[in-house]
């Protein structure tokens, strides 16, 4: 992945436009706004850009991106980041935009859960289906251990060093972290309900090698309870396939049961919603609030298709409208990148 500017969280960032969501559509919006000399900051809850393409299907081939007969989710995100690099957007990752309000000077003030404040002349909501939330397994009392012993993502591998780690699941996340955490953990058990795995075959093969070497324990069954005190788990109670209860030593538990998408705080920003989607004017992609635009999966209008290519089109039209809000004095002349030397200069190709 290309180097991207990731300023530390916190403080106040003044910019022309804040784009909420660094999915494929939010990323392409940087390009369309950049051609009009508009500076952007991108914010995303995820720790990487790419939205659904990066989080849900990085290795799946996409066949309907114009000009690419086949490209993976991850490949498309890399190309988009390369394409927007000349415009030097700042990426504010691992933070969720919580609030959006208007200041007395007419600028929008957005705040994140990581303590960053943005002041911007316009806002582009490219929040897709909202925020990805891990699915919580149906284990009684699991909430009291979340954030201490039970984690749904690995933020810092060091937090798992020297622990009895129990990983639950059979997909790519479960297998990837089994392989990555095994060298650090005191012990590592992979628990899955059956001896078949959805993860990449190569990861499954490597896991089975570690099991054969006695470095990873593979258990079949389901977690039925957790034992511990003061927010710290000591044991997981596992019901095996014959219904017998087995206690596994575990001080760190990583359940990987997939992700769901929840709309999250976007719903409270005073913008009109219709069944969890933001209605927009299809000439400008403006929402019910002047200066706030919505593009990509989050918006709705007659004939809307939740396709990446539709989001790209929306980004182009949004930029042509937003420029009048961001730079009202600017005379906008429509130009092609093929023939405009001023656009080519901005792109750094001449």
Ligand X SMILES: Cc1cc2nc3c(=O)[nH]c(=O)nc-3n(C[C@H](O)[C@H](O)[C@H](O)COP(=O)(O)OP(=O)(O)OC[C@H]3O[C@@H](n4cnc5c(N)ncnc54)[C@H](O)[C@@H]3O)c2cc1C
Sign of the alpha-carbon dihedral angle for 53, 56, 59, 62: negative
Q: Minimum Å distance from CB 315 to ligand X?
A: 9
Of the candidate spans 15-23, 148-156, 238-246, 324-332, the one that interacts with ligand X by CB under 6 A turns out to be 15-23
Q: How far is the CA of 43 from the CAs of 20, 70, 138, 195, 332, in angstroms?
A: 5, 28, 32, 40, 27
Q: Please tell me the count of residues contacting ligand X according to CB under 6 A.
A: 37
Distance CA 136, CA 142 (A): 8
Q: Which of 210, 140, 203 is nearest to 170 (CA)?
A: 203
Near ligand X by CB under 6 A: residue from 33, 35, 71, 129: 129
Tell whether residue 96 is a contact of ligand X (CB under 6 A). yes
Among residues 101, 225, 228, 242, which one has the least CA distance to residue 164?
Answer: 228
CB atoms within 10 A of CB 245: 11
From the list 129-137, 161-169, 323-331, 338-346, the region that binds ligand X by CB under 6 A is 129-137
Q: Is 228 in the site for ligand X (CB under 6 A)?
A: no
Does position 42 interact with ligand X (CB under 6 A)? The reply is no
In the region spanning residues 99 to 128, those forming contacts with ligand X, defined by CB under 6 A, are 126-128
Is there binding between residue 314 and ligand X (CB under 6 A)? no
Taking CB under 6 A as the rule, does residue 46 contact ligand X?
yes
| Interaction between residue 57 and ligand X (CB under 6 A) | yes
- By the rule CB under 6 A, 313 interacts with ligand X: no
Identify the DSSP state of 302.
Answer: T
CB nearer ligand X, residue 78 or residue 249:
78
Kindly state the smallest distance separating residue 89's Cβ from ligand X, in Å: 14
Nearest distance, CB of residue 190 and ligand X, angstroms: 25
The answer to the question of residue 89 lying near ligand X (CB under 6 A) is no
Which is nearer to ligand X, 102 or 217 (by Cβ)? Answer: 102
Q: Does 306 bind ligand X (CB under 6 A)?
A: yes
Q: Is 285 in the site for ligand X (CB under 6 A)?
A: no
Structure token digits, residue 142: 């699991």
Q: According to the binding rule CB under 6 A, does residue 26 interact with ligand X?
A: yes
**Residue 289 interacting with ligand X (CB under 6 A):** no
**Smallest distance from ligand X to CB 311, Å:** 5
CA separation for the pair 65, 82 (Å, rounded)? 16
* 13, 15, 40, 51: which one binds ligand X (CB under 6 A): 51
Binding mask 322-341 for ligand X (x = CB under 6 A): --------------------
Own/partner long-range contacts of 119-122 (Cβ < 8 Å, ≥24 apart): 119/12, 119/13, 119/14, 119/15, 120/14, 120/15, 120/16, 120/17, 120/18, 120/41, 121/16, 121/17, 121/291, 121/325, 121/326, 122/16, 122/17, 122/291, 122/292, 122/293, 122/322, 122/325, 122/326
Helix, strand, coil shares of the chain, percent, nearest 5, are 25, 30, 40
Instruction: Give me the residue whose beta carbon is nearest to ligand X.
Output: 128
CA proximity to 128, closest of 61, 41, 54, 39: 54
Beta-carbon contacts of 327 under 8 Å, excluding residues fewer than 6 positions away, are 16, 36, 37, 38
Closer by beta carbon to ligand X, 17 or else 22: 22
Q: Does 24 bind ligand X (CB under 6 A)?
A: yes
Name the segment binding ligand X (CB under 6 A); options: 48-56, 158-166, 223-231, 235-243. 48-56
**What distances in angstroms separate CA 195 from CA 5, 215, 227, 249, one per listed residue?**
43, 18, 25, 21
- Interaction between residue 134 and ligand X (CB under 6 A): no
Residue number with CB closer to ligand X (170 or 296): 296
Distance CA 20, CA 91 (A): 11
Residues that bind ligand X (CB under 6 A): 20-26, 43-46, 51-53, 56-57, 62, 64, 96-97, 126-132, 264-266, 296-297, 306-309, 311
């Amino acid at each position: 992945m290309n180097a991207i500017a990731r300023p530390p969280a916190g403080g106040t960032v003044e910019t022309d436009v804040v784009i909420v969501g660094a999915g494929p559509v939010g990323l392409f919006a940087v390009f369309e706004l950049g051609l009009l000399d508009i500076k952007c900051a991108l914010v995303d809850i995820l720790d990487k850009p790419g939205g659904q393409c990066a989080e849900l299907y990085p290795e799946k081939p996409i066949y309907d991106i114009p000009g690419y007969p086949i490209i993976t989710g991850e490949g498309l995100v890399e190309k988009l980041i390369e394409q927007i690099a000349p415009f030097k957007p700042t990426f504010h990752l691992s933070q969720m935009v919580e609030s959006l309000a208007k200041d007395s000077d007419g600028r929008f003030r957005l705040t994140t859960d990581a303590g960053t404040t943005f002041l911007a002349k316009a806002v582009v909501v490219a929040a897709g289906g909202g925020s990805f939330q891990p699915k919580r397994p149906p284990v009684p009392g699991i909430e009291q251990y979340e954030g201490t012993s039970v984690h749904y993502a690995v933020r810092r591998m060091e937090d798992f060093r020297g622990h009895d780690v129990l990983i639950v699941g059979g997909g790519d996340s479960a297998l990837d972290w089994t392989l990555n955490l095994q060298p650090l953990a005191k012990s590592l058990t992979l628990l899955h309900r059956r001896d078949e795995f959805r993860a990449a075959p190569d990861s499954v093969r490597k896991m089975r090698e570690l099991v054969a070497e006695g470095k990873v324990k593979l258990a079949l069954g389901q977690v039925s309870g957790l034992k511990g005190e003061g927010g710290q788990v000591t044991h997981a109670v596992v019901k095996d396939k014959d219904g017998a209860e087995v206690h596994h030593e575990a001080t760190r538990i990583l359940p990987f049961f997939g992700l769901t998408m929840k709309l999250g705080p976007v719903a409270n920003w005073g913008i009109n919603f219709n069944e969890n989607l933001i209605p927009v004017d299809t000439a400008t992609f403006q929402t019910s609030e002047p200066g706030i635009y919505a593009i990509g999966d989050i918006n709705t209008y007659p004939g809307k298709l939740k396709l990446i290519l539709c989001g790209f089109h929306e980004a182009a039209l949004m930029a042509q409208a937003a420029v009048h809000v961001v730079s009202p004095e600017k005379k906008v002349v429509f130009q092609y990148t093929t023939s405009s030397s001023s656009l080519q200069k901005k792109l750094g190709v001449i």
